[in-house]
Amino acid sequence: MGSQEVEMASGDAEYSMSPAEELPLNEDCFHYEGKHEVPWDIQKYFAQRYSIFSLYDYGVYMTDDAWFGVTPEPVANQVAHDMYGTDKKKHILIDVFAGAGGNTIAFTLSERWSRIISVERDPSTLACAQNNAKVYGIEPGIITWVLGDSFEFLDKLFNRPEELHPDLRVNLDETVLFASPPWGGPGYRTDEVFNLYDMQPYNLGDLHNAYKRLDHALFLPRTSDIRQIAKLAPPDRKVEVVQYCMEGASKAMVAYLPGSYPKQASE
């Protein structure tokens, strides 16, 4: 895996980050066909596989870790629908945690965005995402995939864009971010109200500090502390928080946060 990551992440030698080539499925990519094949800790997710990817039987692949973080397809579709109504001048979307591709696929199929850049740091997971996009009929080249760390990517985009391949440079005035980060940390499943500053490996402060220049949407646990989110709004601007449900049960919330770039003219 290591040699593959070096090869795909390096791209053109003159740039520190370039678009990823198509990665081959490998021994860490699985398409389970029966419960007897599935590790015990993901069996409950496997039982919900058609809610996660309705086209699962047509060749969807995931790493074992990806099962824990993939957005169920109906939720991903609704989030994509809700983001359809955002500022029309902003037509470029960056999905900073691609995972197995659930959200990226939904955003692409919405046809709302002229460009979609999707970032994933694990080569096996990215190979699954690329494969799954093809399962959903998305032609190669429609999504710009990036193999690398999304925080590093955004730092370069904001501060040193010349280090990025030209295909990864965007007009910040026209760009929004979507982030579905890992939900690790104490209390995520048990606390009535989840402290987002306890979330691991990236807490609310880590995420917002990285994204605050642009409008951004954060896909968060359903019990997240809304008061913590509200404090992130720029002066005289509002945060929108939406709960997303399936079969009457909340699955997650998304916080839609305005950015601080370029702003300020009449405010």
> Looking at the domain assignment, is residue 262 inside a domain?
no
Q: Residue 236: what pLDDT?
A: 84
Domain that residue 69 falls in: 2-257
Reading the block at residue 71, the tokens are: 């957005």
Q: Residue 253: what pLDDT?
A: 96
pLDDT tier at 86 (50, 70, 90 boundaries)?
A: confident
Q: Residue 258: what pLDDT?
A: 93
Average pLDDT estimate for 142-170: 98
Query: CA–CA separation, 134 vs 102, rounded Å?
Result: 12
> Looking at the domain assignment, is residue 98 inside a domain?
yes
Reading the block at residue 60, the tokens are: 């969807």
> Looking at the domain assignment, is residue 267 inside a domain?
no
> Looking at the domain assignment, is residue 102 inside a domain?
yes
Query: CA–CA separation, 102 vs 125, rounded Å?
Result: 12
**What share of the chain has pLDDT > 90, as a percent?**
82
Q: Residue 123: what pLDDT?
A: 99
Per the structure, the count of domains in the chain is 1
Q: Is the pLDDT of residue 9 over 70?
A: no
> Looking at the domain assignment, is residue 204 inside a domain?
yes
Least confidently predicted of 136-145, 217-226, 247-256, 257-266: 257-266
Q: Residue 87: what pLDDT?
A: 87
Q: Residue 185: what pLDDT?
A: 64
pLDDT tier at 85 (50, 70, 90 boundaries)?
A: confident
Q: What is the mean pLDDT of the chain?
A: 91
Q: Is the pLDDT of residue 29 over 90?
A: yes
Please report where in the chains the tokens 């500090």 appear, as a residue.
209
> Looking at the domain assignment, is residue 266 inside a domain?
no
Query: Residue 157's closest CA among 16, 8, 10, 14?
Result: 16
CA angle 73, 139, 180 (to 5 degrees): 35
Query: CA–CA separation, 212 vs 7, rounded Å?
Result: 32
> Looking at the domain assignment, is residue 165 inside a domain?
yes
Record the pTM: 0.91
How do residues 193-242 score in pLDDT, each as one tens digit?
999 999 999 999 999 999 999 999 999 999 999 999 999 988 888 899 99
| Start-end of H helices in 54-149 | 73-84, 102-109, 123-135
> Domain with 205 in it: what CATH number?
3.40.50.150
> Looking at the domain assignment, is residue 265 inside a domain?
no
